[in-house]
Structure 1
Amino acid sequence: MQLENSVALVTGANRGLGRHFAAQLVRRGAKVYAAARRPETIDLPGVIPVRLDITDPESVAQAAKTAEDATLVINNAGTSLGADLLTGDLDEIRQEMETHYFGTLAVTRAFVPVLEGNGGGAVLNVLSVLSWLHPGPFGAYGAAKAAEWAQSNALRDLLAPRGIAVTALHVGFMDTDMAAGVPAEQKIDPALVATLALDGVAAGRPEILADDISRSVKAGLATALQS
């Protein structure tokens, strides 16, 4: 899709990758609704702050009314609570799924009529290499991201006839607050990830693998599990 003169809603736009998405879209000539649970924390010039909690149905519905001219939705908002599936707090495990799966789905469902009414558009879901790689300590997050990957694939099939493309972004560690404890050499610049993802959306690509670890893990999905 053409990003210049597009109208984008970016969730989780107050920091990290979401902030880079919003800033780069403004530079590319888009109108940007920058969404966050606390819109007062959004300090980017040229954007329209929007209050949005993706786990709150009323908040999602209001955001769809506010951004009624949207042609692009970037589902970036997320959490990482560090719960494992065996000993982790069940409420935290549920929260991961409520945010990454049900929250993303709620936003997409709310905005499909908006995008379709505006002549079509695109949805970009920010996923993770942990959609496919599931180390035990990150079981809740990995399960939620795997579910979000399945959601992205199913919605791509359903929305294509309605003129709405769905792109899934996979990436490992980025230099953001969420990965503050990860060594710097293992992290990729989120500004670069945003550039790669937006270029992929513009080109209509269904999937973007933003770093070497994502490309390696995706390539190895067909290999046998090791005992």
Structure 2
Amino acid sequence: MLVKNYSNVARIYSHLMRSIDYKMWATYILKLSRIIKKKNISVLELACGSGEVAGYLRKKFIDYTLCDLSLQMLLSFDHQFANKINCDITALPFKQKFDFVFSTFDSVNYLLTKAAFIKMLNSVESCLEQNGIFTFDVSLVENSLRNLKHLNRKGEFRGIKYQQISSFNRVKQIHQNKFVITCEDGSAVTENHRQRVFSFEDYFDMISKTKFYVYGCYEAFSFSNASPKCERAQFVLKKRN
């Protein structure tokens, strides 16, 4: 049975992501936030997932709001956050304006069309302070090509069996991760996670169609300029005056 993304993967997400260095991610995000040069900034994390990055950052930022499209993911953790919002990042509901908006783990790659990506940018722009920053990372073609093999895997976690089948269609720019999950009662469900791997140049083109400009584009976890050959690029956007 095909089910909604993360409705069951949420139960094994911590196991699937067990090799991720969340502290390193959080440290990098904190460094990026300092570009603003302002104390006590207001922060919005998009597509926060299981809240692992927030677990490290929550003591660094007093005004911190989390959001995710998956209610199951939001319910999977509790870091004493009052502001956990279930919403679509292409239609953010916030009237408040934030100083710093960010997403991690190539979450924006889930936006499958250029129209959806631009809609997301416009949605963020509407709730970002004039001197604020929006930063996000993207998975590029090299990441799909180099890491495809180890994403085909199977295992068991807390009585739940799973198989992950990963494929990349370079022509259509689609990276798909299919999860076949067998629950404790023996019932089987399938989740199809599809990500769009736009070209490096596509991102600059889409951003140019909005009120943002690219303040910086770095090779992930660094402040070195990114290139099309990077596995992952970190964009830092500011509003045009």
User: TM-score band, normalised by the shorter chain?
Assistant: 0.3 to 0.5
Normalising by structure 2, what TM-score?
Answer: 0.42
Q: Which has the higher strand share?
A: 2
Higher helix share: 1
